Structure 1
């Protein structure tokens, strides 16, 4: 069985500003306007090294690859909070892929000394200009009813 350390080393994953490790595995040659049509990354998170609340201007499609299930925490533009588990335990409601809609604030976590390895495709393609990373103080005035979640998953 492949370990998280082997995945990080063999796939050249680097620390991501939001938390976890990533490597851009693909960027389309085609463009739409001034952006690539889509980009894709490998992404690994572990307990204690989560993906903190952030937002993209594009849709992001997540694909489960291995390890433990990953939980995606979302605050939608209308203020609704939603949780989705990405994994292969379909009987328990996990899904192997999931779309996080553009402009949704989201974080991802694993629990109990676990780790998860996923792929993420962004269309139109990802650029750091389209990426916002949030501190709790920025989100609390906007979504006070989600204080516990924000304090747990924002920087």
Structure 2
């Protein structure tokens, strides 16, 4: 059976994510941690599906996020680090071609992810746990004013306007 995007969305009960792609929360720790911005779960986990036409747009978290490859095509995590430098990290099964099976995006890094063709399925674990209060989406204008040297990737992965969800 050829498992296409619709198969995965239906059978994993995925829903649209505000940053792009489709997701479902799979784990939320019963343990919590007190942070300056409030109490958070110790960790959370989602399954995340991205497509060539529906990438993860540039955003920032106040926690580390580790991505684990599961199925489909490789994807690229595009990072603009706090010091302003840019890196593209390939996640996928082809380790002999420089891809990694997992990658941790450090907290306070602006990042998004793209798939060149088809789709990719990953898990993302956030620690301390994900909370929308710690999530910041960016527009092209926000990022171009700070990082004009990264205009090409910003225009590809930042919203022109933040969608109303």
Q: TM-score range by the shorter chain?
A: over 0.9
CA distance in 2: counterparts of 1:74 and 1:25, whole angstroms: 25
How far did residue 4 of structure 1 move? Answer: 2.1
Q: State whether structure 2 residue 60 is matched by structure 1 residue 58.
A: no
Structure-2 separation of matches of 1:70 and 1:149: 14
Q: Measure the CA separation in 2 of the matches of 1:132 and 1:121.
A: 17
Quote how far apart the aligned CAs of 1:97 are: 0.5
> Does the residue aligned with 2:146 lie in a helix, a strand or coil?
coil
Partner residue in 2 for 1:35? 40
Q: Equivalent of 1:134, from 138, 154, 158?
A: 138
What TM-score results when the alignment is normalised by the length of structure 2?
A: 0.91
2:163 is matched with: none
Aligned length: 154
TM-aligned CA deviation for residue 3 of structure 1: 2.4
Q: Which runs of 5+ in 2 are unaligned?
A: 160-165
**1:152 paired to 2:156:** yes
Q: How far apart, in 2, do the equivalents of 1:146 and 1:108 lie?
A: 15
Q: Which residue of 2 aligns with 1:10?
A: 11
- Equivalent position SS for 1:120: strand
Q: CA deviation at 1:152?
A: 1.2
TM-score for both structures, normalised by structure 1: 0.97
Question: For 2:5 and 2:151, how far apart are their aligned partners in 1?
Answer: 32
What corresponds to 1:104 in structure 2? 109
Query: 2:88 matched to 1:86?
Result: no
- Which sits farther off after the overlay, 69-78 or 2-11? 2-11
Quote the offset at 1:94 in angstroms: 0.2
Write the distance in 2 (CA, Å) between the matches of 1:152 and 1:7. 25
Please give the root-mean-square deviation of Cα atoms over the aligned residues, in Å. Answer: 0.8
Inter-partner Cα distance in structure 2 for 1:144 and 1:71: 21
For the residues of structure 2 that align with 1:57 and 1:122, how far apart are their CA atoms? 10
C-alpha deviation, 1:141, in angstroms: 1.0
Tell me how far 1:139 sits from its aligned partner. 0.6
| 1:6-55 CA-partner distances (Å, limit 9, x unpaired) | 21111110000000000000000011111100000000000111111000
